[in-house]
Amino acid sequence: MSSLNLRLTDPVEALVVEQALALVRQLRQTCHSAPHGQVLAQAELLAVAQGRELTRLALEAVLNDTACPAEKKSRPSGPAPVKRSAKAKGKRRARS
């Protein structure tokens, strides 16, 4: 097998390439160990599940890497407190 030179420009790329290689290795192992007649079905199940996870991981890593410093340091997001005005303190209407 010939070697391939690959230039990775940052840790995010390195992470995604590492995970993609792990997926290929898992697919090979799954194909080699699947019973006769089940190779494609088992490989597809793994490819869909792990491919989705690889995509989620890549998106998360890129978004975390590109977030501006202010976003990285801010408090975690969550529901905002609601302050009711004097007009809104009446009885609630029944839902239909």
d(CA 58, CA 36): 34
Average pLDDT over the chain, rounded to an integer: 85
Secondary structure class of 2 (helix, strand, coil): coil
Pairwise CA distance, residues 33 & 46, whole Å? 13
Three-class SS state of 42:
helix
Is residue 77 over pLDDT 90?
Answer: no
With respect to residue 44, please indicate whether it lies within any of the assigned structural domains. yes
Residue 92 within a domain: no
- The model scores a pTM over 0.75: no
- How many folded domains does the chain comprise? 1
Domain that holds residue 18: 11-67
